[in-house]
Amino acid sequence: MANKLNIALQRAKLLNKLWPQGKQFHKQALAFTDFYQDKIIVIKYGGFALSNQKIVKSFAKNISLFNQLGLKVVIVHGGGPQIEKEMQKQKIKDQEYQGLRVTNKKILSIVKKIIGRELNPMIVKNISQSGGKAKSINGITKKIIQAKKILNGKIGFVGTPSNLNKTYILELLKKGIVPVISPLGYDKLGNTYNINADTAAGYVAEKLKAERLILLTDVVGVLDNKKKLIAALNEKNASKFIKNGTIKGGMLPKIKTCFNIIKKGVKGVVIIDGRNPNATILELFTKKGAGTLISK
């Protein structure tokens, strides 16, 4: 009993220190901390949330808090805008096929540089500076996602995951370390593949049977016809929203992907706005959440 009280007091201190502005939610946060103990949370991190330094630091603080509270968090990050910027700088034409970046050898070297050598260590460094423990899995010096090329190499070195070194991730989580994974895959011939970050995050979440997959996007979530946030979606009402045109455009494949991931064992997928500095913590530690929760 005394031990439980000590743990609760330590958690309350951490919340006061790392999330003082969320004081009104601290009681809820303590309950959710209990709920998420021994469950895995995978977060796909990218887009604007990775471009804005203020939001990078806020995200790192959120992850550090989860880590110090004992939550098992895995980060899979992208870097699309940063890759585009580097390609423009080098005057390389950016081509897409069905939403995937055509990746020749030169573009692959840019992807490896930006994602593996720059963004990945930067995320790890920010989490460490906030008091958390994180480990770089950059897909170059440390590889854990086995992949195979798609469309017979028609769009170059673009891959889809075929296997995952799950044991290594679970060992890190057991030691209280946050794995930070670049979406770079490899094959037995020594080739490296550029994997879509959403695809990589979904695969990692599926293989780890995650409680939650959180997708940090540049939208607040799924909106209804009056532009109001839809807090929760299941297959039945999602089907209705697709038929009446509420869910359309770029959100349509995202939603379909979410339901495919859920069918493979992930308990819920959440689409949240990565532009909100505390979106991740609000999603996990408040009853209201911060985006759209997609579940069975």
Counted domains in the chain: 1
Per-residue confidence (pLDDT) for residue 7, from 0 to 100? 86
Answer yes or no: are the C-beta atoms of 271 and 254 closer than 8 Å. Answer: yes
Domain region containing 103: 28-221+228-294
Task: For 60-91, give one letter per residue: b (16+ CB within 10 A) or e.
Answer: bbbbbbbbbbbbbbbbbbbbbebbeebbeeee
Residue 249 lies in a domain: yes
Residue 100 domain-assigned (yes or no)? yes
Q: Is residue 195 part of a domain?
A: yes
Strand duo 178-181 + 184-186: pairing: unpaired
Residue 2: predicted pLDDT: 56
What are residue 134's DSSP bridge partners? 178
**Which CATH number characterizes residue 114's domain?**
3.40.1160.10
Q: Which residues of the chain have pLDDT under 70?
A: 1-2
| Residue-wise pLDDT tens digits, 74-85 | 999 999 889 989
Task: Tell me, yes or no, whether 5 lies in a domain.
Answer: no
Question: Rounded CA gap, 145 and 292, in Å?
Answer: 28
d(CA 278, CA 293): 17
First-to-final CA distance of the chain:
37
Per-residue pLDDT tens for 123-147?
Answer: 999 999 999 999 999 999 999 999 9
Reported pTM: 0.93
Q: Is residue 16 in some structural domain?
A: no
